[in-house]
Amino acid sequence: MRLKAAVAASGVLALATLTACSGGGGGADGDSTDGASTVTVAYQKTTAFHQLDDMLQQAKTQFEDANPDVTIELQPIEAEQDQYFTKLALMNGSPETAPDVIYEDTFQIRSDAAAGYLLPIDDYLAEWEDWDQFYENAKEAGLGDDGKTYGVSMGTDTRGIYFNKQIFEQAGLPTDWQPESWDDILEAARTVKEKVPDVIPLNIYAGKAAGEATTMQGFEMLLYGTEDTLYDTDSSKWVVGSQGFTDSLEFLDTVYGEGLAPSLDIALDAAVGNRVSTELLPQGKLAMAVDGSWMPGGWISGDNAWPEWEQTMGMAKMPTQDGGGPGFTSMSGGWTLAVGANAEDPQAAFDFITTALNKENTFKYDTENSQIAVRKDVAEDPEYTAYNPSFAFFSELVDVTHFRPATPDYSQISSNIQVAAEAMATQQQSPEDAAAAYDAAVVGIVGEDNTTTD
């Protein structure tokens, strides 16, 4: 699901000096950790995303009660997703400020492990009886290039199209709307623009400031609905020169060129995702949004609770370009908790993760943050499936979902996708020119031998 050096530097928190101690396996679920130490935990928090903070506060209390000689120092980084990545990178840049436990996006596991920021935790996992509760694909989400495990999955997600049924009714569109092609989406957006002109027809992320949201919720939701992809797994090469890439940019070009999207002051705002979920949709200012399964979590409870959301919002699957293939598509990601490579007491850091991701706390996080559960005992709990009416819909999308290339150079590739997408939002380049610039950038990053036109 989120600034540059001067701003990012302000988010770097001075970490307490750690006192080394010997660990007792199991943390709150086993023996107490002996000796006095402090475990620092860095994670993201925004006004729309407070659920992780809520869960970690609970886990902190539980862990400290069971381990009185260990202090858990929570260090929330209040920033949107890409700003969070920037600030976290600055913290990891020095052993003095590097966190002990890190809220880590799965797409960054391989690059951060290769950079030496994360500690392999396989030996610790072997002693944790709850590890057997995690689905195999969830375990694979935490793997580095060396095959070692660096993070424990907290949940996963899928993406679809939210639409305001009241606005659709005003526009004469069906309230059980399900587009079967990109053209159907554009037709609905044009109808809203004509019939309900004071409403933004469609949000699909396309600004560099939105970072990975633009890549994943925006561009990749289009590209993976074409016959092309970003990365050819068979040859382990990046795809360049694809028609699907240009067609995806063409869609964005049409949305922004025809005034079907938010104005640029919104679209290019780093907080656009927050604005979509807490302002534009709840206030009835936006008809459609291509976004993630976590969104209802902020509507069910918290400062941005929206009791009417269930009656107001409809959910539709994202169609493939022309309805071909499986007919629909989605993207999945997820986050992990990882142990920092510079942790003075890695056992205590890992033990805190086992507390934070035990069944009780995982249930709390997955329900309140609308996550697709990756622990079997949570996924099979009737209270989990009954908690949120959107769970069933978004869980169905797992059958047609895709995952980002888990390679160390993905982050650089993603940044260039964002450049191409923003050029569509600002109308500064044609789709063909932006695609050509992207292809050149990819060759510059990975080398021509590591690209393919197939």
Q: What average pLDDT does range 285-293 have in this prediction?
A: 98
Asked if residue 24 has pLDDT above 70, the reply is no
For the chain, how big is the Rg over CA atoms in Å? 22
- Residue 197 per-residue DSSP state: T
Task: Specify the length of the chain in residues.
Answer: 454
- Residue 33: the pLDDT is 46
pLDDT tens readout for residues 48-97? 788 999 999 999 999 999 999 999 999 999 988 888 999 999 999 999 99
Determine the residue type at 29. D
Question: How sure is the predictor about 282, in pLDDT bands with cuts at 50, 70 and 90?
Answer: very high
Question: How sure is the predictor about 26, in pLDDT bands with cuts at 50, 70 and 90?
Answer: very low
- Residue 317: the pLDDT is 98
Determine the residue type at 436. A
For residues 370, 325, 407, 355, the Cα torsion angle rounded to the nearest 10 degrees is: 20
pLDDT tens readout for residues 351-379? 999 999 999 999 999 999 989 999 999 99
Let me know: does 123 contact 41? Beta carbons within 8 Å: no
Cα gap 232→112, rounded to integer Å: 22
Cα gap 431→251, rounded to integer Å: 9
Question: How sure is the predictor about 16, in pLDDT bands with cuts at 50, 70 and 90?
Answer: very low
Helices (H) and strands (E) in the chain, counts: 22, 15
Q: What average pLDDT does range 174-196 have in this prediction?
A: 98
Cα gap 377→359, rounded to integer Å: 7
pLDDT tens readout for residues 224-244? 999 999 999 889 999 999 999
Confidence (pTM): 0.82
Let me know: does 371 contact 155? Beta carbons within 8 Å: yes
The region of weakest confidence among 5-14, 89-98, 339-348 is 5-14
User: Which of these, 359, 360, 353, lies nearest to 70 by C-alpha position?
Assistant: 353
Asked if residue 34 has pLDDT above 90, the reply is no
Which H/E stretch holds residue 452? strand 451-452
Question: How sure is the predictor about 6, in pLDDT bands with cuts at 50, 70 and 90?
Answer: very low
- Residue 35: the pLDDT is 62
Asked if residue 181 has pLDDT above 90, the reply is yes
Query: CATH classification of 159-331+406-452 is 3.90.1150.10, yes or no?
Result: no
Q: What average pLDDT does range 404-416 have in this prediction?
A: 91
Question: How sure is the predictor about 324, in pLDDT bands with cuts at 50, 70 and 90?
Answer: very high
- Extract the tokens encoding 356: 């934070």
Its sign, for the CA torsion 7, 11, 12, 13, is: positive
Asked if residue 22 has pLDDT above 90, the reply is no
Top mean pLDDT of 3-12, 137-146, 410-419 is at 410-419
Asked if residue 393 has pLDDT above 80, the reply is yes
Asked if residue 414 has pLDDT above 90, the reply is yes
Determine the residue type at 349. A
For the chain, percent of residues with pLDDT exceeding 70: 92
Residues of the chain with CATH 3.40.190.10: 5-157+333-374, 159-331+406-452
Q: If you average pLDDT over every residue of the chain, what do you get?
A: 91
Q: What average pLDDT does range 256-271 have in this prediction?
A: 97
* Alpha helical stretches, state H, 67-210: 81-92, 109-114, 122-125, 136-140, 165-170, 182-195
Cα gap 230→219, rounded to integer Å: 11
- Extract the tokens encoding 419: 């450049």
- Extract the tokens encoding 226: 């074409």
- Residue 97: the pLDDT is 96
- Residue 406: the pLDDT is 80
Question: How sure is the predictor about 137, in pLDDT bands with cuts at 50, 70 and 90?
Answer: confident
Query: CATH classification of 5-157+333-374 is 3.40.190.10, yes or no?
Result: yes
Cα gap 326→291, rounded to integer Å: 20
- Residue 134: the pLDDT is 95
pLDDT tens readout for residues 81-93? 888 999 999 999 9
- Residue 46: the pLDDT is 87
